[in-house]
Amino acid sequence: MGKDYVLRPKIASTDIHRRGEGDSLKKLKPIKKGLRTLHNLELMAVTIYTFQITKKDNALNRALTAAMCNEASHYSDFRVKLYEYGFRPFKLRWVWWFAGVFFGLGSRILGPRMILKTGIWVETKAVHHYGELLETIEWDEETRKVIQEDRDNEEIHIQQWKSLLQSK
């Protein structure tokens, strides 16, 4: 169906450490904003896929489940990074969850083609956001690597959804 990729990369306990110590407020402010943005967007993506999955045993539901699992790992990645920097998630993140419910249920009601088109649209927006944040923020090397790997996963999702859409 598509390219095989790692859904949940391994993280060792020793990979978790404090970040940003000694960095200026000027440097940390965009990092906080960027991590919160990515965390919120991944919450929305997880929720969209969660609400698109039906009870049917088919290729689309298996791909949606895999994508949901992968997006949950991205959500976790950015939650960890927030806490490593001493930040907290956005208090109003439930708004992003609600948006995910809206897009997920809405596209599910409209059928498989709309599910796939929604996936392509959301993942394309995500790739754009990831790229923008990679270019404009001074990340530490480990965080930059996580962001780049997660962005690469989003591009895989776009190709999967396009491939499934062509077969519909």
Token pair of 147, please? 């962001």
Instruction: Inform me whether the pLDDT recorded for 1 exceeds 70.
Output: no
Non-local (6+) Cβ contacts of 157 within 8 A are 67, 70, 119, 123
Query: Between 3.40.50.1100, 1.25.40.80, 1.20.1260.10, 2.60.40.10, what CATH number should domain 26-166 receive?
Result: 1.20.1260.10
Residues 20 and 30 sit within 8 Å (Cβ to Cβ)? no
- pLDDT tens digit sequence for 28-75: 999 999 999 999 999 999 999 999 999 999 999 999 999 999 999 999
Decide if pLDDT at 6 tops 90. no
Residue type, 46: V
Residue 8: pLDDT over 70? yes
pLDDT higher than threshold 90 for residue 135: yes
Mean pLDDT along residues 84-101: 97
Percent with pLDDT over 70 in the chain: 98
Per-domain boundaries in the chain: 26-166
* Per-residue pLDDT reduced to its tens digit, 100-128: 999 999 999 999 999 999 999 999 999 99
pLDDT confidence bin for 7, thresholds 50/70/90: confident
